[in-house]
A and B are shown apart, each in its own frame.
Chain A
Amino acid sequence: EAGVTQSPTHLIKTRGQQATLRCSPISGHTSVYWYQQALGLGLQFLLWYDEGEERNRGNFPPRFSGRQFPNYSSELNVNALELEDSALYLCASSLAGPNTGELFFGEGSRLTVL
């Protein structure tokens, strides 16, 4: 069974540009989570999607946005990139919401903003 897959693996952008990151959850999982892992800051919760809807977001500005498609895959968009957006962006999936506990993580997309 395929795990959570993310693309691209690496992405280099310049300040002010937009970045789009993609995530495919494990088959059967309807919830997708996005986390930002910046150097020295641990994992910060970004967004949670379930059944195509944004259910909650962390303490990030509106230029961080995303969506979930009917096949439950998800896209994270970061507009007007800033240097501090450089980080590893991790996607995770779970069965129908967080109460099941375990999140399954992808290997991440490393975004570098120059």
Chain B
Amino acid sequence: AQSVTQPDIHITVSEGASLELRCNYSYGATPYLFWYVQSPGQGLQLLLKYFSGDTLVQGIKGFEAEFKRSQSSFNLRKPSVHWSDAAEYFCAVGAVNDYKLSFGAGTTVTVRA
């Protein structure tokens, strides 16, 4: 069965600093990988996704993620964080012929001035 681990429950970062959120997955087949963001009181919004090809994926809001098959990782990065990036971030894994996405427990990002 697939699983997703987000090792960091909570990260605090200063505005303008860089951000990296970790995601490790366990999946027997070739995975589809996703990062979603959830602002307070909101649903989830897709930041970026990886299906195949270039392992460095660009997303919205200046985010990028790198797929590393050897490490079973799909870490999310942003070079310079804005206060509006304070939210909860979820990594998810799915696959061809799978019927659902499996989500990690989420990482809450706090941005300090």
Are A and B subunits of one complex? yes
Contacts of A55-87 to chain B: CB distance below 8 A: 55-56, 58
Name A's B-contacting residues (CB within 8 A): 4, 33, 35, 40-43, 45, 48, 55-56, 58, 90, 92, 97-99, 101-108
Number of A-B contacts (CB under 8 A): 54
- B99 and A90 contact, CB distance less than 8 A: no
A99 and B42 contact, Cβ closer than 8 Å, known pairs A43-B90, A45-B102: no
Q: Assign chain B's interface to a size class.
A: 20 to 34
- B104 and A105 contact, CB distance less than 8 A: no
Contacts of B79-113 to chain A: CB distance below 8 A: 90, 94, 96-106
Task: Across the interface, name the chain B residue whose C-beta is closest to A46.
Answer: B100
Q: Which residues of B contact A92 (CB under 8 A)?
A: 44
A103 and B101 contact, Cβ closer than 8 Å, known pairs A4-B43, A43-B90, A90-B43: yes
- B51 and A55 contact, CB distance less than 8 A: no
The residue in A58, A92, A101 that gathers the most chain B C-beta atoms within 10 A of its C-beta is A101
Contacts of B26-62 to chain A: CB distance below 8 A: 32, 34, 36, 41-46, 49, 51
